[in-house]
A and B are shown apart, each in its own frame.
Chain A
Amino acid sequence: MAEEIKSQVEDIRWPEGVRLPVVLTFEHQSGEGAPLFAGERPNYMVGGAMQYGARRGIWNILELLDKYKVTATFFVLGTTAERYPETVQAIAKAGHEIAGMGYGFESIRTASEERERSIVQRASAVLKDIAGTKVQGWRCPDYRVSPQTIDILGEEGLLWDSSFLNDDLPYLFKCRSRTLVEIPFTTSTADKTFIGYPYPQRGGADGLASVWSNEFDVLYRESEKSPRMLTLSLQTWATGRPAPLRVLAQFLDRLVGHEEIRFARCSDLAGWRLNGPGMKPA
């Protein structure tokens, strides 16, 4: 099992001029992650609400990111890439990073190593065929790793993972074949936590605005003395809707153009973490 390499905050220094990296991550699926009814029967209501992401949400989000000239990381499910290849090609063309999150929203918490490896390979192959680039990073679709996830990702040639929720900063895993960067995130600030399934909504888009605004205030203040990063976990089916999209636009209004804020893709951040202090901005 991969082990975390103990590190100190002092081991991290962002490129010159970068005070706070902002990592926007979008999870792109089309209903595969909808909780099933008893007997494993599909739930078309929730599934449909999620399918919105692939039909409409993604285009709304790409348009917004283009307007602000911001790059992000998109975790794309294999089956969604097969059903909506034009969305994945558009993501890649716009310069965003494409990362894997399973083929068909498999839960790998208790999977055999063989099965888990085949999912990583199959999802990576689909994304390479459609988007033309090899994925460098991964997030378990249900945020639930198995004991061998990190080792398998390393052996399959991936550079980073983002399935853990336990830190403010990237850290390193020593796995069987290489050093892998972990870029932790949280569901605490995720869009779906506040504007989740069709009902009930806890806080709505307005609540989400206060979550992101507080998160930025605190991390920006702390980043004066010590390195920090701001990571958001967003769903194309949630933030892609008009009201939360407007909240994201207002958030970007505040951040874009701020000299010390740098929007980074996960692989940018992984590179900074691996190469250590003193590197030049990407």
Chain B
Amino acid sequence: MSADASAHAETPAGVGQGTITPSGWRSTKLPDVKLLMWVFLASDCMFFGSLIGTYLAYHDRSLTGPFPADVFDIPLTTVSSFVLLMSSLLMVLALHALRSDDIPKFRLWTLGVAAFGTIFLGFQVFEFVHFVNAGLSIHQNLFGTTFFILTGTHGIHVSVGVLWLLAILISSYKKPTSSKDAVYLEIAGLYWHFVDIVWIVIFTVVYLVEFV
């Protein structure tokens, strides 16, 4: 490989892709936090992948009931999935509002995402209580173990997201917020969309597949 002889001393190659920020030179125009969130989400894919893999490995291996078809209520879960999906739409609206410096709208939609997320969690709790009353628990059989831990982990992710959005919302009252801070909402949005997509996968692989 020949030495790089075409570089100019004062403006070497690659400089054009970078930018000077208050924290110093950055070699790309991607904000640090956004790159961090993408990397985190890549990792979280493997996290949920392993849990879903565990569920699939133990599918149909429970020695005793209740079994999935005994307890699943597809219409109900469809409604809660729809709520979560709609929350992602509200998230898009919130980000758009903040980028347009429409702070009241940004606050409204952000509250909406948190509210829809909480409604989803409410549905989850309702559903879990119904399953427990039907005799399903993590001690009962492999279905109970794998189902509750998988959906429980997802539920914790949703809860973290709700808390995060509420913190952003409250913080917007404590100090002036503008489109300059949009990247922090954007990464919350990336996280939220990811959690939503994971739910779509779980809904398909765990719930819908039972009735195919």
> Is B truly associated with A?
no
Q: Which residues of B are interface residues toward A (Cβ below 8 A)?
A: none
Q: Which residues of A are interface residues toward B (Cβ below 8 A)?
A: none
